[in-house]
Chain A
Amino acid sequence: MTTLHFVSPPGGSTFMHELLSVIAGEVRALGPRAGLGEVTVSQGAFPPGDEAVYVVEPHEFFLKTGAAEQPTPDQLARTIAICVEHPGAASFGQTVATAGRVAARMDISDDSAFALNELGMPTERFHLGYSTQWDVWGGSDSERTHDVLFLGTIDPRRSRNIALDIGAVDESSVLLAMPPHEPMFKPRPDFFTGKEKLQLLADSKVIVNLHRERCRSFEWVRALEAMSNGCVVVSEHSTDFAPLTPGRDVLFGSSRSLFTLAGTLLRCPERLAEVRAASYETIRSMSMVESTERLAALATELAQGIRPHIRRPPASSPSSLPPSPSYGLLYASTGDSLSEEVPELRGDSELFALPLVASRTAPASKAAGPDRGADSLDVLICRAPGWPDLGWSLSSVLPQLAGMDSVVHLCGDGAADEAGDLPENVIVHASDHDAGPGGARNQVLRASDAAQILVLNSTDALLPHAVERLRHALDESDAGAAYGMVITADGFLTSAHPYEQERLGRTDYLAAAALWRRSTLAESGGWCDGAGWRGQEVRDLWWRLGARGGSATLVPRPLVRQACVQAVGAE
């Protein structure tokens, strides 16, 4: 009897491994009619066996398997590729480069099957469908805690589209899990796998689906996982989504309005329930049996040394396939890695022994009062030359402090000009120009005795409920700081990944905006204010947080919108 081994490379993508496991499970479920012996799922080199046939995802397997573990020509003659990448993504180019090495190919979407056939690699279509392995929901009426969910690696296109439209769901519970596009060797808080991912889908009302790079093909795996768990899919316009019906089983829209559509759907619970029920019914009628039987038949032919006749899918007629770009890593190292050497820290006592350079233009009694409780929160807004005036940030902060024990401290360049008729809880600190933003912030840190300090640049305007969400995140964790994603002035996302000290060494990916425990800031020694650190104060502080064994927690949604910074001295 033919043994069928589904094999992933060591250290390969969890997503691919999970998909092969599901398909293996469906092949097993065929039972005796598959005509196969054992069906296994493993990682590493191909298990030996003269009658063994292997199933791999080609670009994953061949590119991540070491030279010593690469299959022999004899094994390759008994290998079937299950291709999952779409034209338009760089990884499709890798699929094209590797898929020709095996004896037979199947592909989970029309456009890539078409492209592979056009390129002279006969490829059959593997139709994914419902699997009980994906369904942890079971059609119950359980409560869902998340309104809107996004799962997918971050790229500039997704980043921009999310930043443009996310405001439409300001009032909803949103979780954007957008890990960087890189191999996942260990669990990450923004990368959900296995049962945890399926449960997250069962706990979410709507999932937004944006294509990666220039892909246009419907992301069937994500959609099936979601719909199997009653999570309604709101997707960017796609090809190859039959037999789903737009408006009934799935909702489509332009890439720039998906959160608007999700928000509209959330405001109409009846419609949401209708789509959930319809999509669940539709996918349950989508069987994988025909494709798994075909896979089993191909395996049997290969085991018998028969060169299989590949049934090409009917030639779909995509008007043009998107080009597959060579992927430029947005989050690759910037080349200005921080030194491994941790800067010398200043202790709390040393910090607070520093002379006060600032003269305060308002009485400090409220800020410096001795009885401020654990729920006190001060806001520190700093301006550097060329940044917007402090009003941009201040006007977004004040409404969110209503009813709180809080003082807003304005500092840095031009703060002293911010006279105006300021509310009584705003204090302006004159700055010592030589101190720079780091020094200006340290002055305020000494002047504040609140338990938590929200740090902002004058470029940062808070989005609705930002303070409330940051406080909740900080209170719920033992981290030293909490931060949310930041929409940059040019409409992308930054601060989008969880805190990783190692990543800070490669790239400056965390903005200044964050809610800190005051004790953590003090223990970290505040901001560096030496001239040599100018412009690196924020990254340095984040770095030192990790160096002291601390961490920060990410609120997985945008909480801040940045304004433009002028190039100082530029005319």
Chain B
Amino acid sequence: MLEPDGERFIPEFMGGQLIEAEHVVRYALAAELCKGRKVLDAGCGVGWGTELLLGAGADSASGVDLSPDAIENARARVPGADFREGNLAQLPFEDDVFDLVVCFEAIEHVEQQEKVFDELVRVLAPGGILMVSSPNPRVYPAGNPFHIHELVPEELVEAARSRLQHVTLLLQHEQMASMLVQGDSLAVGRSDEVLLRVVRPLRSGSDPYSLIVASDGDLPELPTIVGSAPSVLHELLAERTVALAESAQRLRTRLEEARYPRRDAPVPAEWEREQTALRRDREQLGARLLECEQLLAAATQAATAPHPPGADLEVADLRTAVAQFEAERADMLASTSWRLTKPLRMLGQIRSRKS
């Protein structure tokens, strides 16, 4: 069995959680439209959605995914479908083949999204229906490492509208549900007898996914659809509570041992090793600190000493040099040659200003 890596939904591992209802409800909507149609599930993963569509009356079902492992798993899961390994940006199908093309939660995983849209439309038969969904990055938590670019609803609509005539946008909201049934009478699949009572109006910002339905032909009327799956939340919570209690007990025992050491309790060997290492570190750091502090003291002394050695001599030398320079300058200014060359210097100044 394919192990879950977080990139794909695998019902065997993720069933009973909200993610199952999220994924199922999109295929449930497609199932409403697939009867008698040739269907392509683009980005089919392990094929559980393809299986659902085939079971809902599709004339034929094909699936394509980049992962060989997923395709192998899908082939075993749905022998009646045609699964192919392939790139969404280069679909391994002829033009105009499918009446319904679905691409759920796959577009955000690829880089060439425009090319993927082109390909999805290429394999769509005239008048066929395209359904594409993406996480809505305005609501969906950031940081999924498998997502290259999540499309906001407007991007999805634009991508479809630039290729197909009619586009409808659906926003997928998260809901809490509680169901009252008699016994185990509710079957899996479509259930016309369920009365849906919306307890509170939809809340803005609770739509982590968007889905477009598009076609060059007329679009069918689309129902509001709710996907439900039994929750395993209680079991998960119970398991975690037990695990936490066990962990807390272990910690408490260790704490008691640490707080109230027995007189005869042997000191663990790793503690002794740790202590030895810490002692060695402390000694090395202490020695280093000691040397650094002495350098600092010496440097500070040198920087703040009022008369560093040789300073007086340097100052005296500088004074002599300055005095000598001043005397030479005075001699020069008083010399005959300096006075005679004054017009030349003025001319030079005028020329330099002009240039």
Contacts and interface: CB of A to CB of B under 8 A. Distances in A.
A247 B287 contact: no
A421 B306 contact: no
A421 B256 contact: yes
Interface string B294-316: 11111011001111000000000
A172 interface: no
B294 A264 contact: no
B298 A394 contact: no
Contacts of B297: 237-238, 241, 246-247, 252
B271 interface: no
B289 interface: yes
Interface residues of A, number: 41
B260 A420 contact: yes
A422 B258 CA distance: 11
B283 A267 contact: yes
Contacts of A317: 304, 306
B290 A265 contact: yes
B354 interface: no
A316 B305 CA distance: 7
Interface in A309-328: 314-319
A267 B298 CA distance: 24
B259 A395 contact: yes
Contacts of B290: 251, 253, 261, 264-265
Given A394-B259, A426-B260, A247 B289 contact: no
A401 B260 CA distance: 12
A253 B295 CA distance: 10
Given A319-B304, A420-B260, A423-B263, A245 B289 contact: no
Residue of B259, B290, B300 with most partner-chain A CB within 10 A:
B290
Nearest to B279: A267
A1 interface: no
A395 B260 contact: yes
Contacts, number: 86
A425 B262 CA distance: 10
Contact of B301 (A241, A402, A422): A241
B18 to A, nearest CB: 39
B96 interface: no
A420 B256 contact: yes
Nearest to B262: A423
A260 interface: yes
Contacts of B261: 395, 398-399
Contacts of B298: 245-247
A429 B127 CA distance: 88
Contacts of A265: 290
A394 B289 contact: no
25 contacts: A237-B293, A241-B301, A242-B301, A246-B294, A246-B298, A247-B294, A247-B298, A252-B296, A252-B297, A253-B289, A261-B286, A261-B289, A261-B290, A264-B283, A264-B289, A264-B290, A317-B306, A319-B304, A391-B260, A395-B259, A395-B260, A398-B261, A401-B263, A402-B263, A421-B256
Sorted nearest first, the 3 A-B pairs with minimum C-beta distance are A247-B294, A264-B286, A246-B297
Given A257-B289, A260-B289, A265-B290, 15 more contacts: A237-B297, A241-B301, A246-B298, A252-B294, A252-B297, A253-B290, A264-B283, A264-B287, A264-B289, A268-B287, A318-B304, A391-B259, A391-B260, A394-B259, A422-B260
